[in-house]
Amino acid sequence: MHTLQHGYRGLGLLLTINWDRLLYVAVIVGALYFGAFLGSL
């Protein structure tokens, strides 16, 4: 259980440090999906 808590804390730290990179990737994927949607109309 102690190892699980440390792993969860480490994952939270990684998300805290890299949330902006994850946001950029999500925005790019969303824009590509939206562009494909508009192109199919």
**Residues 41, 37: Cα–Cα separation, whole Å:** 7
pTM to 2 decimals?
Answer: 0.58
22 Cβ contact partners less than 8 Å away, ≥ 6 residues apart: 15
Tens-digit pLDDT string for the chain (41 aa): 566 566 677 778 877 887 888 889 999 999 999 999 999 99
Query: What φ, ψ does residue 14 adopt, rounded to 5°?
Result: -65, -40
**pLDDT score recorded for residue 34:** 97
